Amino acid sequence: MTTLSENKLHSEGNIWIFNKDYISEFVYGGIDGAITTFAVVAGAAGANAELYWVLIFGFANLIADGFSMSVGNYFSVKADRDNYDKHRKIEYWEIENLRDREVQEIREIYEAKGFKGDLLEQVVEVITSDKDVWVDTMMKEELEMTKDEKTPFKTAFATFLSFNLIGIIPLLVYIFAQVMDLERDNLFLISCISTAVALMFVGFLKSKVTEKSFLKGIVETLILGGLAAFLAYYVGEVLANYFV
């Protein structure tokens, strides 16, 4: 039963249709997309802007910020992988050229873990007999570096996709109003409700992965989104009163 429980806790795969490996990117991109786009909507509502301005600035934010965020994510992950590969090459060089020193470092690492005497020497001999194992050990134990198996492109794509999928929700009611010529008195209220639902979903998804309280995850995202909307709305209102 213990083994089964551990396998379940550490298992890879999907949560519904979401790949668990990239769920952090989806949550991060989704929250940022919903909040920043809703901030544009709230600012426009506070300034009593025309519907077409809401759509223009909303979509400009959605595409530009989503792309910018995904590019930043791409280069961040790529830089981490490149840095890992660089230090891995250095470790191979040190094993080839500074073997005695590297053997001693392995010995000191496992001595600090409590290995002594013949057992310590056996561990050192086993590890140093395989260069790949040796380098992997040095990367983890000496440099405290592990390689992230997620690719830069996939992390960037997951971020861009979630940013736009969740980020467009605050704009949906304005799109329908523009296309179908709907009553426009309650558009901002409907956008508030739909955005709150979107943030609740992302907060729930985050809690599903971290196995923390669902209520806490939902409340955290709602408070963050509500604060951003509050600030944007009143900034828009103040600026509109000042300039218009």
Handedness of CA 58, 60, 62, 65 (dihedral sign): negative
Task: Give yes or no for a contact between 36 and 170, defined as CB atoms under 8 angstroms apart.
Answer: no
Greatest CA span in the chain, whole angstroms?
Answer: 83
**Eight-class DSSP state of 19:** E
Q: Structure pTM?
A: 0.75
Q: What does the alpha-carbon distance between residue 238 and residue 43 come to, in Å, rounded to a whole number?
A: 10
pLDDT tens-digit profile, the chain (244 residues)? 444 344 444 445 555 455 667 777 888 888 888 888 888 888 887 778 888 888 998 899 899 999 998 999 899 999 999 999 999 999 999 999 999 999 999 999 999 999 999 999 999 999 999 999 999 999 998 888 888 778 889 899 989 999 999 999 999 999 988 888 777 778 888 888 898 888 888 888 777 766 777 787 778 777 877 777 677 677 766 766 666 5
pLDDT of residue 104: 93
pLDDT of residue 239: 65
The CA radius of gyration of the chain, in Å to the nearest whole number, is 26
CA end-to-end span of the chain? 68
Please state the separation of Cα 125 from the chain's center in Å.
41
- Domain ranges, ordered by start, for the chain: 21-81+155-243, 88-142
pLDDT of residue 14: 56
Calculate ∠ Cα 197-205-150, nearest 5°.
135
Q: What's the one-letter identity of residue 71?
A: V
